[in-house]
A = this chain, B = another copy of it.
């Protein structure tokens, strides 16, 4: 069995968890923006985080449409996290790219 087959098979029951890792992994980035490194907010791309939010919102709707929690749970949480990034950047820096 190849490495790809091994890992692919092992991931099968972990899809919902995997969908939650990236949203939760955004917390240290939010912490830096809001609390510990606010003076560096200009280094964050408003474009990037707006598009991350938009795509997470579309996936959330898509997951709800298919009644598939594996899709909408992680993306719903992701949408809130990325939106927090967008809000923080706008508050600290205003308009930027």
Contacts and interface: CB of A to CB of B under 8 A. Distances in A.
A43 B43 CA distance: 7
Given A33-B43, A45-B32, A55-B18, A66 B8 contact: yes
Number of copies of chain A assembled together: 2
Q: Ordered nearest first, which 5 A-B pairs have the shortest CB separation?
A: A8-B65, A40-B43, A25-B51, A29-B45, A29-B48
Interface of A: 4-5, 7-9, 11, 18, 21-22, 25-29, 31-33, 37, 39-45, 47-48, 51-52, 54-55, 58-59, 61-62, 64-66, 97
12 contacts: A4-B64, A7-B61, A7-B65, A9-B65, A18-B59, A21-B55, A22-B51, A22-B55, A25-B55, A27-B48, A29-B45, A39-B43
